[in-house]
Amino acid sequence: MSGRRLMNRLYYYTIEDEGMLAEAFAQIKQEHYAITYKVVGTDDVFVTTSETKDALDRNDVPYNLLAEEDGSRISLYHSPLSREELGDFEDALKALALAYRSIAMACVGVNGEGDLGFDLSEEGAKRFTYFTAPAGHTFIWRLFSSKEEAAEFLDKLTMGDEEAMDWSESIPMESSSQLVSYH
């Protein structure tokens, strides 16, 4: 894993042929963690990390850069286990949040645990996603489109835990309307 960048940039882009991504990722050296996500609700917009963008550039993969987002504006609330296993994958997690046009994500547990705070209605399920760590655990994440939504959810989930409430107050953006537009 390469060292952390001072400015963690995330990039929105399009590509003419999605098959080119699979070919490019197969060529990227194993020491790089290459990942890209399709932005939900779009046909052809992707979001990726600086590391993956650099790898695509090194492999001469043609893409159309649409916009970039400052990754430090996307917030992650880890569980102790997710912090341990996913500490080196924060940019990939933030790209995942952006794929859902979210400003923050909170780890609510590991797949297989009994109570993850799920709202199993159709709308509620859309507010959750997952990320599988190389160590093998699949972490479940709650997506937030506003600071207020994060505070309300974490207040209920953690029964007002001070650390969780401080995190929700520290989210840099008020809502997803403040995310960079890629149109």
| Average pLDDT over every residue of 11-32 | 84
- Domains in the chain, CATH or no CATH each: 9-71 (3.30.70), 74-174 (no CATH)
In the chain, count of helices (H) and strands (E)? 7, 8
Count of Cβ atoms closer than 10 Å to residue 150 Cβ: 26
pLDDT in tens, 120-158: 555 667 899 999 998 889 999 999 999 999 999 999 989
- Rounded CA separation 123/147 (Å): 19
> Rounded to the nearest 10 degrees, what angle do helices 147-158 and 162-170 cross at?
170
pLDDT in tens, 30-85: 667 789 999 999 999 999 999 999 989 988 899 999 999 999 999 999 999 999 99
Which parts of 50-179 are beta strand (E)? 64-70, 75-77, 104-110, 128-132, 138-144
User: Largest Cα–Cα distance of the chain, in whole Å?
Assistant: 50
Count of Cβ atoms closer than 10 Å to residue 164 Cβ: 19
pLDDT surpassing 60 at residue 94: yes
